[in-house]
Amino acid sequence: MSNEKTHAPAPNFLRNIVEADLASGAHTRQGLPPVITRFPPEPNGYLHVGHAKSIYTNFGLARDFGGRCHLRFDDTNPEKEEQEYVDSIMDSVRWLGFDWDYKGPVGAGNHLYFASDYFDKLYEMAEYLIKVGKAYVDSQSAADMAANRGNFTTPGTNSPFRNRSVEENLQLFRDMKAGKYKDGEHILRAKISEDAMSSPNMNMRDPAIYRIRHAHHHRTGDNWCIYPMYDYTHPISDALENITHSICTLEFQDHRPFYDWLLEVLSEGGFFAKPVPHQYEFARLNLTYIVTSKRKLRQMVEEGIVDGWDDPRLPTMAGMRRRGFTPEGIQLMCERTGVTKSDGWIDYSVLEGAVREDLDPKAPRAIAVLRPLKLIVENFPEGQSVECTSPVHPHHPELGHRTFPFTRELWIEEEDFMEVPTKGYFRFTPPVGDQPGARVRLKYGFVAECTGYDKDENGKVTAVRVKYFEDSKSGTPGADTYKVKGNITWVSAEAALEAEVRLYDRLFTEEKPDAGGKDFKEFLNPKALEIVKAYLEPGLKNALPEQRFQFERHGYFVADRVLSQPGKPVFNRIVTLKDSWAK
């Protein structure tokens, strides 16, 4: 796990539970740390920002209380799982700042697990449930089983196969394992109680625990053609790994009675020693302006709406990393959104604000002109240059200065010139009659006065002409004699680095794009990505992939970890300097 906390954790109900358990010695066991949690993703897609909250909660609790957290892959559905997803999940957990190599005084080691590690034990326990009358093979069709299950207002109906003998159930289950039946021909169900099909909790109406799937598994190959269900696998995996606090999101709250029932039955059979794990639920992270459904994320990838799982517009952790979000910023967002038992929505600006707060004190500054307009300094000698300097970071003088040349031709932003100025506009404007053009300070350089401008045949301004004042250079005594209201950024046209800059924004225009049965694709933001040819100060040529900067005036940017080449970085906008979506 991460070696240090990035932010002081706030009190919450889970921390209170762990503190109380530690005080009572509830989970004191020889050779094991007092707190063991787990993060159990299914390897059928890339992790998203909601998983980041779960990672932070599980790994963070274990870290803060001297315990360990297991990374366990719930790989019981071979038709949807791939090694690619396993690798990406491991990479994302490490990138966020955590790992599963525990170095504590007891129970040290690498705690990476797969549910498929337990297939033999899971099968053995299923046979035990059959032998003690707690499971049976159902041969109904899927449609009949669904109809007989009932609903929230109507009790279910017992399967006509519910009272098969132990011997018949065992033989059928072993034949299922031997591959004698087709997919869906039989299924193994738990037999909770005689009146289980009348339970108000639908998850207790003889839940399925094994199904037939003639599918190749990414780890066990073709060794199995029956696979355990998640609700069956999950509690057993927790117990086998001595998990103390099994933490999941609120949608699993109604699954907890089966969790408890199963571990109680199996502990009575001698499979586990008590105390067995206990499940606790907290509210999942619901962020506005995104979708986190794996199905919808996969749809956007497969339909080419985005460019892969790591597209910086996606809320996947791979996408967030490529966008330039920092692990520390994401952790800060997780801490600020808290751990509660009440569902609610968090505005996306909370994430962006946390990332800004993390980047501001550590991102080096740089100048970029994103929408360039030529500036010609008519009284500056051609072929010459003057070196200008600026601090690498305004609040960290120990980081030194960066240098860049002032030349006859510069690039400025299009918005820094206006033919007919509006009220309160303090950048370059042309002379009018006897009135001279506006004076503006070229930041870190000189004061210049607009003398005119050029247009093309379509009336578009192609260049702004100015004269500069040689004694006005920033940092010299003469600079103080010039009082101007405008102060703009620029780069030398001769020395600037031409680069592709990708201006990312929120993927959706609607706060809840998939709520209430809406078609989320109707709310795709057409401005979620704009690619511009920009000019950057020359030192950025050496920017390394994933190196972050604050482009003055524009926001925080990162050198793309995929597209950047040595000497030719491509930059992604992480976030603007301020919340441009604020109402």
Residues at the binding site for L-glutamine are: 74, 230
DSSP secondary structure string for all residues of 308-320: STT-TTS-BHHHH
C-alpha angle 528-529-535 in degrees, rounded to nearest 5:
140
Q: Would you tell me the crossing angle of helices 49-64 and 83-96 to the nearest 10 degrees?
A: 60
Q: Which residues are annotated as a binding site?
A: 42-44, 74, 230, 249, 284-285
For the packed helices 256-268 and 119-131, what is the interaxial angle rounded to 10 degrees? 80
Helix 327-337 × helix 83-96 angle, to 10°: 80
Q: How far apart are CA 329 and CA 357, in angstroms?
A: 7
Could you tell me the two tokens for 290? 């995104």
Residues in a beta bridge with 498:
535
Instruction: Tell me if residue 284 is catalytic.
Output: yes
- Amino acid (1-letter code) at residue 337: T
Give catalytic status of residue 294 as yes or no.
Answer: yes
Helix (DSSP H) and strand (DSSP E) numbers for the chain: 12, 27
- Torsions phi, psi for 337 (to 5 deg): -80, -15
Question: Residue 494: how many CA atoms within 13 Å on its side-chain side?
Answer: 13
What would you report as the CA-atom Rg of the chain, rounded to the nearest whole angstrom? 31
Alpha-carbon distance values, 524 to 309, 322, 511, 521, 570 (Å): 17, 20, 11, 5, 24
* Interstrand relation of 68-73 and 112-114 (parallel, antiparallel or unpaired): parallel
Q: How far apart are CA 419 and CA 373, in angstroms?
A: 13
As annotated, the binding site for ATP includes 42-44, 249, 284-285
DSSP state, residue 511:
S
- Residues 29, 42, 82, 131: which is the catalytic one? 42
User: CA nearest 554: which of 512, 501, 482, 495?
Assistant: 501
Tell me how far CA of residue 161 lies from CA of 39, 139, 157, 577, in angstroms: 37, 7, 11, 65
**CA atoms of 234 and 40, how far apart (whole Å):** 8
User: d(Cα 462, Cα 453) in Å, to the nearest integer?
Assistant: 8
| Phi, psi (degrees; rounded to nearest 5) at 578 | -130, 165
Indicate which residue of 94, 162, 213, 284 is catalytic: 284
* 8 A C-beta contact, residue 68 and residue 62: yes
> From residue 126, how far is each of 134, 233, 276, 374 by CA, in Å?
9, 10, 18, 75
Catalytic residue, candidates 149, 294, 296, 553: 294
> Using CA atoms, how far apart are residues 424 and 420, in angstroms rounded to an integer?
12
Distance (Å) of CA 332 to CA 336, 351, 358? 6, 8, 8
Cα three-residue angle 20-25-31, rounded to 5 degrees:
130
Give me the active site residues, please. Answer: 42, 284, 294
